[in-house]
Amino acid sequence: MATSTKATPSSSSAARGRPRRIVLLGATGSVGRSTVDLLERDPEGFSVAAVVGGRDAAALARVARAVNAEFAAISDASAYGALKEALAGTNIGVGAGPEAVIEAAVREADLVVSAIVGAAGVAPTYAALALGRDVALANKECLVCAGIPFIKTAKRTGARLLPMDSEHNAIFQALGGADAATVERMTLTASGGPFRTWSREAIARATPEQALTHPNWAMGPKITVDSAGMMNKGLELIEAHHLFAVAAEKLDVVVHPQSVVHGLVSFSDGSVTAGLAAPDMRVPIAHCLGYPVRLETPAPRLDLAAIGALTFEKPDFERFPALRLALDVLAGGGGLPTVLNAANEIAVESFLARRIGFDGIVRHVAEACEAALKDGTAREPSSVEEALHVDHIVRERSRGALAATTASGMLTLQ
């Protein structure tokens, strides 16, 4: 399994007494800010080689100053001047544009935290992995877009992929290094999101404001919309398949509205181990930052008696067709997950821009997958470069298709 490819963890530097060097990709986002919160609490334990953001120069400058980063890179080349000005008077190096992002990603480091949203995270995360850097993976789109090449590269370079997504982190902890052959089932829990109890018709008419209101987690807009339609859980199943080298048939989802149990592993002797924690991303982030050393976090502690009841439900594929679609795509394999991921990113953007309805997201992604199967775009990418090429083609197509909407916001089918 990709999470345990190194015999001697380089990550015990915190225990060895020297600060662990961190590169933080997506430093201004929800996961990025939670990571910064932990780094700021332990200035002796960590040094920050680089921070990376997308477009918000002021926010990136604040983060860079807060963690005293050596280098700050912003993806939007036009933001160079603003970032330079915001960091004037500091020793923090400044770069802008995609090359600067890669330069940041490959800086010497003990751990690269991959928390850029979407396929934009693929190239920098891969650049670090290819150099053998350990990566803490919050960005699930990396493994959905280019899972096979990522895992092959991790094996080749000896880089470790530590799961930072809460469900995968829980499963990683629940596995405890067990022999993969003894695993009968891996179960990811899903909160069910804001539409858990809504009818299919009501979900179809949901507004961006309603989709952006998650009951348990405060996250960036893309993952929040993905969670509302359970596409997020579909992406996570594909991520788990690659991360834990587990067959699709052994993967399972259960809806658990309290978000206390995050993942479970069922073994061949009937034993089940589970990862539990309060729904606070600082728990899995800290687990990765210190691994294998446990850090202290200010996350709320679990009080099961106060919670009283933990409940579980089967997912409803009728009301949440995105989950069924992602399972079909996982079973179909090849380049279908790459297509699904790219089409979904553009469809979510279009929904947030009110160009399509909520049900238009899954409809568009299904159509994009069908079209890619027909014309050969869904062939399995043999490298990350090929996966990114497919990603690019599908994005362009999706942009074209979704721009062609009627005044009433209905999708015009190709």
Ligand X SMILES: NC(=O)c1ccc[n+]([C@@H]2O[C@H](COP(=O)([O-])OP(=O)(O)OC[C@H]3O[C@@H](n4cnc5c(N)ncnc54)[C@H](OP(=O)(O)O)[C@@H]3O)[C@@H](O)[C@H]2O)c1
Q: Is 198 in the site for ligand X (CB under 6 A)?
A: no
Per CB under 6 A, contacts with ligand X among 75-114 are 75, 101
Instruction: Tell me the C-alpha distance between 53 and 59, whole Å.
Output: 8
Report in angstroms how near the CB of residue 260 gets to ligand X at its nearest. 16
Report in angstroms how near the CB of residue 83 gets to ligand X at its nearest. 10
Placement of tokens 């700021």 in the chain: 40
Q: How many residues does the chain have?
A: 414
Report in angstroms how near the CB of residue 72 gets to ligand X at its nearest. 11
Pick the closer one to ligand X by CB: 21 or 140. Answer: 140
Report in angstroms how near the CB of residue 318 gets to ligand X at its nearest. 25
- Which residue's C-beta sits nearest to ligand X? 29
- How far are the Cα atoms of 180, 191, 287, 342 from residue 266, in angstroms, in the given order? 11, 20, 22, 32
Report in angstroms how near the CB of residue 404 gets to ligand X at its nearest. 25
Q: Is 191 in the site for ligand X (CB under 6 A)?
A: no
Report in angstroms how near the CB of residue 56 gets to ligand X at its nearest. 4
Which of residues 217, 276, 333, 393 is near ligand X by CB under 6 A?
A: 217
Which of residues 3, 11, 30, 227 is near ligand X by CB under 6 A?
A: 30
Report in angstroms how near the CB of residue 158 gets to ligand X at its nearest. 24
Report in angstroms how near the CB of residue 34 gets to ligand X at its nearest. 7
Q: Is 297 in the site for ligand X (CB under 6 A)?
A: no
Q: Is 237 in the site for ligand X (CB under 6 A)?
A: no
Q: Is 28 in the site for ligand X (CB under 6 A)?
A: yes
Q: Is 139 in the site for ligand X (CB under 6 A)?
A: yes
> How distant is the alpha carbon of residue 13 from its chain centre?
25
Q: Tokens for 78?
A: 């036009």
Binding mask 241-270 for ligand X (x = CB under 6 A): ------------------------------
Q: How many residues bind ligand X (CB under 6 A)?
A: 30
Which of residues 103, 110, 141, 359 is near ligand X by CB under 6 A?
A: 141
Per CB under 6 A, contacts with ligand X among 32-51 are 32
Instruction: Tell me the C-alpha distance between 86 and 74, whole Å.
Output: 12
Placement of tokens 């160009």 in the chain: 355
List residues binding ligand X (CB under 6 A). Answer: 26-32, 52-56, 59, 75, 101, 115-117, 120, 138-141, 165, 217, 219-220, 222-223, 281
